[in-house]
Amino acid sequence: MASMQQAIFTVLIIASGLYQDAEAVTHIVGGATGPGWTFQANDLTFYDTWASKESFNVGDVLVFNFNSTLHDVLEVSTDDLKTCTTPASPIQRNLTSNGSLTISTSGTHAYICGVPQHCTFGMKMTITTVGASTPNTNSTNPAGSKAAVGAIKSPFFTFNLLLGVMLTAIAVATV
C-alpha cells in the first residue's frame, strides 16, 4: 500500500512539474531595461532581434511600454506587417499606455504601431510560439519532435494530462 501511494505521489509531482512549465510568462517587449515600444529608425529589425532570443508560448503576455498619446499596439496579419498597413479591424489592439496583449494561439503573430508611418520607423515585431511547426508524427523528423515539445507546454494539453493522471491515480487507489 505504501509503495502504491508513493508511486501516485511521484506521478503527481511529475505532473505538477509539467504544469509549472506551462505557466504564462510576461515578456517586456524590447527587454526589461530596453527602450519600450517606440521608434527604432536606426534598426528596423530591433524588435525581431529581441524576439528571436525569447521563448514564447501560448498564454504568455507581451507588455508594450508606450505612451498612448504617441503610440498604440495592434496585432495584424503578417501581410499587413510586411506592407506596414494599419487594418480597420486588427486581430487585437491595445490603446492604453503600457498596454499588453496575450498570445492566445500557437504559431506566428505580427504586431505594429497603428499610427501611420510608425511601423515604417521600426515599430513592428513578428514572433513565433515554441513548437509551432506543423504537427508531424514522424519521430525521426526534428520538426515533428519540436512540435511535440510545444504541445506538452500548451496549458490545455497539460491540464488534460494532469486530469488524466489524477483520474488514473484515483482508479488505482480504489482497486
Ligand X SMILES: *[C@@H]1O[C@H](CO)[C@@H](O)[C@H](O)[C@H]1NC(C)=O
Which residues of this protein are in contact with ligand X, per CB under 6 A?
36, 65, 67, 69-70, 94, 96-101, 138, 140-141
- For ligand X, give the closer residue by CB, 67 or 105: 67
Q: In angstroms, what is the minimal distance from the CB of 66 to ligand X? A: 8
DSSP bridge pairs for 61? 26, 102
Measured from the CB atom, is 3 or 69 closer to ligand X? Answer: 69
Query: Shortest approach of ligand X to residue 94 CB, angstroms?
Result: 4
- Is-contact 112 123, C-beta < 8 A? yes
Partner residues linked to 111 by β-bridges: 75, 125
Nearer to ligand X, 64 or 169 (CB): 64
Cα–Cα dist 163/167, whole Å: 6
CB of 150 to ligand X, least distance (A): 18
What SS3 state is found at 155?
helix
Neighbours of 127 (CB within 10 A): 22
